[in-house]
Structure 1
């Protein structure tokens, strides 16, 4: 599991292709009363659990390439995003990230302040959807 040099807590993520545990590190860069800015690092080839966002969020890929999977119905909608890409997650949307590179991927974004705290603690709401069909 990776640790953040800036004090962020590691969050476990699983790469089902290699059946290895990897890490997603989240650090709150700016803590606001309503919104916070977070930095997220996704380990090489790692994939997060499927999560559900309680509130909307906007993120930007800073380094690397990720695959964003959104789960609407039976088939996930996927988009490959490179550094510079900006994307949003709607409230109530289920999603997962996969790092497509052999180097860590970095993202930064704005989240509701309470949701940023939960993400940093590794207590984000996991969706009832699974990767298995």
Structure 2
């Protein structure tokens, strides 16, 4: 007899610069919990910071160490079919993926809001497939 395992999770794609972080999260997890999970992954995977993607911007964006105050700001695409159209900030306080009606593999931009950068921007680099020159 087979046992059905409930699938209460959802895969989300979080973008910053050229980075895309795939996280499997609980559909009803608060964004505070998701932010904690995302920060843990960023600290482990990018100890030297996140690439900004824009060559004109010097250096990397530092990921604050554990214990340092950091708030993650999230953005949803203005047009989900055209990520180049930009991002709109979304208030995730008291929200979860279900209340925001996020679907499997939804894309969210994120920015790290710290004391030194109180107004972060969504810096997302979208890959393009240009035809090769003959």
Common fold by TM > 0.5: no
State the TM bucket, normalised to the shorter chain.
Answer: 0.3 to 0.5
User: So what's the TM-score if we normalise by structure 2?
Assistant: 0.33
Structure richer in helix, relative to its length? 2
User: So what's the TM-score if we normalise by structure 1?
Assistant: 0.33
Which of these two proteins has the greater Rg computed from alpha carbons?
2
